[in-house]
Amino acid sequence: MAKTQIPQKIQVALWTKAAGRCEYRGCNQELVGDLIAGRVDGKFGFIAHIVADSADGPRGDPVRSPALAKDLSNLMLLCAKHHKGVDVDYLADHPEPVLLEMKAEHEDRIAIVTGMAQERAAHVLRFAADIGQRDALVSTRSIFMAMPPDRHPAEGRTIDIELAGCDYADHEANYWSVQQDNLRRVFARKVKERIEQKEIKQLSVFALAPQPLLIELGHLLGDIVPVTVHQRYREPPTWRWQADQPAITFQVGDYSGAPNVAVALKLALSATVTDERISAVLGEDVAIWSLTAENPHNDIMRRPDDLIEFKRQLRRLLDQIKSIHGENAIINVFPALPNSAAVEVGRVWMPKADLPMHIYDQNRAVGGFIPTLCITN
């Protein structure tokens, strides 16, 4: 138990820097107010010393303990559970450097979030199309935490579009027409109307769904307001970009044969899509264009710069395909993409300039690609 009386101004400074929340990594519990007990103005946090205020205390030191006893840099705001944990229950697991790191992480995050300008506020759009994919979108907190430093939530709730309970299976043609129509209706009501009323000025998008529906969502979003699309990772499970990862090596495959043939666009970053799988659907007489990656895998899209480069390469391909095959061609798209890239396919496509796209989807029940929905002017 600390013996030092912390000056009031130091206490206020610590509560302010911690934003009234537990500074233990992963906790972030709010320590002001208890609605259950009816004490909305109560304070339930503990001011803990990193280096104890006495030499015989946790992490104590004969010289440094008295010197740091009232030093703001040596104090942490903790909840009851973690106060006891760092000083008693798990003392050996919490040396001074670990606690200093936790304190710095928490206070830096608070400084970033509270220092954000209003123009960085974005409404959060969550989109899912089946039970399994909805599970990863349940945690509003993990989604909000993935937004800084570039964006912060414009409000404490999210805009949710969930397409569940369809009577058709995804290998049936009716499934795609029904879900495309459902998505358009819900989007118009929940998003488009609020954009037109100037309530929504920019969006942060967190979407998990079959790839054709992700592309359709991107088509609906377009460029009517600024949009930031986030990527969901499997390992580690997070929505945060990982900018320190290696860049993707993109590989572009152009076509140089006869122009008057069926046109296919292979977009394969998450898995390999062979030309034979496309020919099995469109026939042998087909022009196959491609945007792929070296060593494709599920978690390949980790850097926002790679998503920007994907959009740039795709924009060039769409222009080139139209130039070679003419105004009357249709692009048959075969995607194997991270969720963020699939959304951006729809956003890159320009209604008044680009050729219609027929989107295919790999279906296990059928054992190959099947036609799903169309993106047209």
- Whether the CA torsion 216, 222, 130, 212 is positive or negative: it is positive
276-310: string of b/e by CB count within 10 Å (b at 16+)?
A: eebeebbeeebbbbbbbbeebeeebbbbbebbeeb
How far, in Å, CA of 233 to CA of 168, rounded? 29
With contact defined as beta carbons under 8 Å apart, do 358 and 331 qualify? Answer: yes
Whole-model pTM?
0.77
3 state DSSP class of 186: helix
CB atoms within 10 A of CB 321: 22
Q: How many residues does the chain have?
A: 377
Q: What's the mean pLDDT when you consider all of the chain?
A: 92
With contact defined as beta carbons under 8 Å apart, do 206 and 238 qualify? Answer: no
Give per-residue pLDDT as tens, 94-128.
999 999 999 999 998 888 777 767 788 999 999 99
How far, in Å, CA of 375 to CA of 58, rounded? 64
- Whether the CA torsion 352, 355, 356, 360 is positive or negative: it is negative
Closest CA to 228 of 297, 172, 292, 304: 304
With contact defined as beta carbons under 8 Å apart, do 341 and 315 qualify? Answer: no
Using CB atoms within 10 Å of the CB of residue 172, give its burial: 0 to 12 exposed, 13 to 18 middle, 19+ buried: middle
Q: Where are the alpha helices (DSSP H) in the chain?
A: 8-17, 64-68, 80-84, 96-114, 131-135, 140-145, 173-187, 193-196, 211-221, 275-282, 304-325, 339-348
pLDDT recorded at residue 47: 95
How far, in Å, CA of 144 to CA of 24, rounded? 19
CB atoms within 10 A of CB 173: 12
Domains along the chain with CATH numbers: 8-114 (no CATH), 119-229 (3.40.50), 250-375 (3.40.50)
Which residues of the chain are modeled with pLDDT < 70?
1, 34-41, 116, 131-138
pLDDT recorded at residue 156: 83
Give per-residue pLDDT as tens, 135-172.
556 578 788 888 988 888 888 889 999 987 788 888 88
pLDDT recorded at residue 131: 46
pLDDT recorded at residue 35: 45
Closest CA to 334 of 301, 363, 310: 363
Residue in the structure block whose two tokens are 């609906």: 220
